Chains A and B, each alone.
Chain A
């Protein structure tokens, strides 16, 4: 085989390999840009929405706990969730007439509560959750009030200072 033709054959196979790798790489980069760098809208599970709809309508921690939380192996889990809701939401729930999900992602929502005049009741609260397999009840949760760092922040609450 003449030398130039041999060189051409080698270049050809290398070219095809590089073409394939380049296409794969472009696909991979596009995938990463699309899925990792694009803010995705997360749909809040219906059981979570129903929980807060019920909670802010009835304001009955016991009823909500019975309906949406797992009883737990010792039976104490539901009771604990009642105590937790009472502790985190406390008296502020009495003045709440509406709520809004201000941040929602897979396994977490942030809730802003509003009083009858439409003013926000700060601080907001966050709810981390894990649902049962059939997504009908809350298996595990963490409920917190979100206290901003700065006292100058309008969301800062002296009630949750300590």
Chain B
């Protein structure tokens, strides 16, 4: 009987270990995002807002997706970024529409009453250790297309 009791206890311990492993795996799967979805989420957070207060509320969320060394470039108190980007929105509600996305390039439009709806913007990036790095932001100029629509 002692042997059976000991084996039962061993099984219970094993069951707990496996259950914890399973739980850990599920948690990783739930939090793991592809580079594409990480990039899209960052753009969505940076350029979807009702007003400046809404934007301030979201700042910590997009910064958490960006590599620590780059975070200063994307803070709202960065004057250069504020002038080159957010001033153009004139504190009006803004949304993004994704046009093309891959694991390192995302093309999008900004829906804001002060921005021409035909303008296209691009966000290029890499992902390292689960965060966005090598980020570059552009406006696409002289867009020239041939053949079937790619973007």
Contact = CB atoms under 8 A, between A and B. Distances in A.
Interface of A: 4-5, 7-8, 11-12, 14-15, 18-19, 21-22, 25-26, 28-29, 32-33, 36-37, 39-40, 69-70, 72, 77, 80-81, 83-85, 87-88, 103, 105-108, 110, 123, 126, 128-130, 138-152, 160
A5 B84 CA distance: 73
17 contacts: A4-B8, A8-B8, A11-B11, A11-B15, A18-B18, A22-B25, A26-B21, A28-B25, A80-B146, A103-B105, A103-B124, A106-B102, A130-B147, A140-B145, A141-B145, A141-B150, A150-B81
B127 A7 contact: no
The secondary-structure label for the interface of chain B is mixed
Contacts of A107: 102, 150
Nearest to B133: A39
A81 B147 CA distance: 10
B146 A149 contact: no
Contact of A33 (B14, B32, B143): B32
Closest 6 A-B residue pairs measured CB to CB? A140-B147, A84-B144, A25-B25, A150-B84, A146-B138, A144-B140
Contacts of A28: 25, 29
Contacts, number: 161
B7 A8 contact: yes
B91 interface: no
Interface residues of B, number: 53
A36 B146 contact: no
B14 to A, nearest CB: 6
Interface in B16-51: 18-19, 21-22, 25-26, 28-29, 32, 34-35
Contacts of B18: 15, 18-19, 22
A90 to B, nearest CB: 9
A135 to B, nearest CB: 15
